[in-house]
Amino acid sequence: MIKRFVVAIALLLTISSVAQAQLMIQVTEGRVDAVPIAVVPFAIRGSSAPEQVDAIISANLHRSGQFRPLPAADMLSRPSSGAEISYRDFRVLGSEFMVVGKVEALPTGEYRVDYELHDVPRGTRLISETYQTQASQLRDVAHAISDRIYEQLTGVRGAFGTRILYVNHNRGADYPFQLQYADADGARARTVLRSREPIMSPSWSPDGKRIAYVSFEANGMPGIYIHELSTMQRQLISSFAGINGAPDWSPDGRRLALTLSRDGNPEIYILDIASRQMTRMTEHFAIDTEPRWLADGQSLVFTSNRGGGPQIYRLDLRDKSVRRVSFEGDYNSNPAVTPDGRYLAYVHRRGGKFHIAVQDLQRHTFNIVTTTEQDESPSVAPNGSMIIYATKHKGMGVLQAVSIDGRIKVHLPSKEGEVREPSWSPYFQ
């Protein structure tokens, strides 16, 4: 069956015709038991394609840390379909799985991509699919294939087709602050907003069509904006005197959790977007900030110093009751929750250094998962497998990613400027 591939968010690619500085991907630490897989270079039929589909698939699987793609130079044969496979050629290389395929240019200007996933030791085919798409969406097809392979072999939905939203700071530019997004592999970086003033706390709506963020462009004062990505129209939704910060979308996309000091002290508020009704949720003399929704839509986690130092608390929106969640050490802040609600990631200070820690809310375990020392702004992938965060590398702001268990580490430096404030997108389809 042929899948006519239409990217649900293809409209986002029209935001800017000028590609921005790309993020580079470097896997610095993977699993020692990463599964060897052969992604055989795809055969080309007709004119060459603008994207090397097999290379993108191989890079995605490698970047997950779960797989170890075999070098193409070591392959004894290069089949493009199951009928051409000699399993022995790949068994001797220790490959457990293999991906074969071909890309064909069609008279319509579209491309047809056929691929198969095979279990090498058993000599069986696991997946056989065909996609037909425009040239501009070949990279999306490669991500979709990567997601299918990843889910087939791990049982976890892949997140290669998602995007990363972040702030790029280039001190020498006329507009030094840029709000950008890129594919999860760092490719196709695009700019949403350029500003001479800081941009902070970007957040994706659950459908990926809107973003919320804090901008200081109005007389140097913070304001919270909602930005429609398809039209590039935006609205200033909160500009009270004092703090307007840390917007986070509710799971149904109808509300935003905010931090406001409109009544004198930083507190957590809920904004109903349609009615613009603002409801205060905390009332305490301490600083309450950085609210993040849980998947049930009835509770939040947030940072507060009401116990003397920054810690993570949980707020039940139904009765406004609050209970402390984090207890390791004297500094925990900036929470992020996995989609299933099981794990809580946050910034933890130990020995004067700031790391990303993960707390298992079911088993009540705690684990520091990074070795970098100035970590901030954790954001969790929609499949709950990885955490992206901002840190410092050689004095520059960069992004890094780490698996929930800390076994896989990925470095994402920018080719230009410093990068901070990452936000991992939801699934788009």
Please tell me whether residues 103 and 187 are part of one structural domain.
no
- CATH number, position 138: 3.40.50.10070
127 touches 117 (CB < 8 A): yes
**pLDDT tens digits for 407-423?**
999 887 666 779 999 99
Give me the amino acid identity at 249: W
380 touches 339 (CB < 8 A): yes
Please tell me whether residues 118 and 189 are part of one structural domain.
no
- What's the mean pLDDT in 71-78? 96
pLDDT of residue 1 exceeding 70, the answer is: no
Distance CA 300, CA 322 (A): 10
Q: SS3 for 168? A: strand
Kind plus residue range of the DSSP H or E element containing 63? helix 53-63
Last residue of a domain, one of 154, 180, 203: 154
Please tell me whether residues 195 and 275 are part of one structural domain.
yes
Is residue 400, in this structure, part of any structural domain at all?
yes
* pLDDT, the chain, mean: 92
165 touches 37 (CB < 8 A): no
Please tell me whether residues 148 and 178 are part of one structural domain.
no
Hey, what long-range contacts does 178-185 have (CB within 8 A, 24 or more apart)? Answer: 178/20, 178/417, 179/211, 179/213, 180/20, 181/12, 181/425, 182/22, 182/23, 183/139, 183/143, 184/143, 184/159, 184/160, 184/381, 184/424, 185/25, 185/56, 185/59, 185/60, 185/63, 185/143, 185/160
Distance CA 333, CA 302 (A): 8
The pLDDT-based confidence of 97 (bands split at 50, 70, 90) is very high
Show the 3-state SS of 216-234.
Answer: EEECCEEEEEEEECCCCCE
Tokens representing 179 are: 């709000």
Please tell me whether residues 224 and 328 are part of one structural domain.
yes
Last residue of a domain, one of 106, 127, 154: 154
Is residue 1, in this structure, part of any structural domain at all?
no
What is residue 31's predicted lDDT score, i.e. its pLDDT? 60
Q: What is the dihedral of CA 172, 177, 181, 182, to 10 degrees?
A: 10
Distance CA 162, CA 208 (A): 10
The pLDDT-based confidence of 382 (bands split at 50, 70, 90) is very high
Whole-model pTM: value is: 0.91
CA max distance for the chain: 72
Hey, what long-range contacts does 400-404 have (CB within 8 A, 24 or more apart)? Answer: 400/370, 400/372, 400/375, 402/356, 402/369, 402/370, 403/65, 403/369, 404/338, 404/343, 404/345, 404/358, 404/369
Tokens representing 384 are: 């709950």
Distance CA 197, CA 212 (A): 16
What is residue 417's predicted lDDT score, i.e. its pLDDT? 79
The pLDDT-based confidence of 25 (bands split at 50, 70, 90) is low
Distance CA 422, CA 199 (A): 12
Last residue of a domain, one of 154, 189, 205: 154
Please tell me whether residues 183 and 302 are part of one structural domain.
yes
Is residue 329, in this structure, part of any structural domain at all?
yes
Please tell me whether residues 248 and 339 are part of one structural domain.
yes
Please tell me whether residues 242 and 148 are part of one structural domain.
no
**pLDDT tens digits for 173-195?**
899 999 999 999 989 999 999 99
Please tell me whether residues 78 and 101 are part of one structural domain.
yes
- CATH number, position 231: 2.120.10.30
pLDDT of residue 149 exceeding 70, the answer is: yes
Give me the amino acid identity at 359: Q
Distance CA 117, CA 312 (A): 44
Please tell me the total count of domains within the chain.
2
Is residue 7, in this structure, part of any structural domain at all?
no
95 touches 75 (CB < 8 A): no
Is residue 24, in this structure, part of any structural domain at all?
no
Distance CA 275, CA 170 (A): 38
The pLDDT-based confidence of 16 (bands split at 50, 70, 90) is very low
**pLDDT tens digits for 264-314?**
899 999 999 999 999 999 999 999 999 999 999 999 999 999 999 999 999
pLDDT of residue 346 exceeding 50, the answer is: yes
Distance CA 168, CA 386 (A): 21
Domain range holding 169? 163-424
**pLDDT tens digits for 215-267?**
999 888 999 999 999 999 999 999 999 999 999 999 999 999 999 999 889 99
Please tell me whether residues 97 and 180 are part of one structural domain.
no
Please tell me whether residues 149 and 177 are part of one structural domain.
no
How many angstroms separate the Cα of 34 from the Cα of each of 64, 154, 189, 356, 407?
Answer: 10, 12, 29, 23, 11
Tokens representing 390 are: 């901002």
- Residue 308, phi-psi category: left (phi > 0), alpha (psi -120 to 50), beta (remainder): left
Is residue 10, in this structure, part of any structural domain at all?
no
Distance CA 335, CA 332 (A): 8
Distance CA 124, CA 117 (A): 9
What is residue 395's predicted lDDT score, i.e. its pLDDT? 86
Is residue 15, in this structure, part of any structural domain at all?
no
Q: Which stretch of 21-30, 77-86, 370-379 has the lowest confidence by average pLDDT?
A: 21-30
Please tell me whether residues 173 and 126 are part of one structural domain.
no
Is residue 2, in this structure, part of any structural domain at all?
no
User: What secondary structure does DSSP assign to 122-154, as a single string?
Assistant: TTEEEEEEEEEE-GGGHHHHHHHHHHHHHHHHH
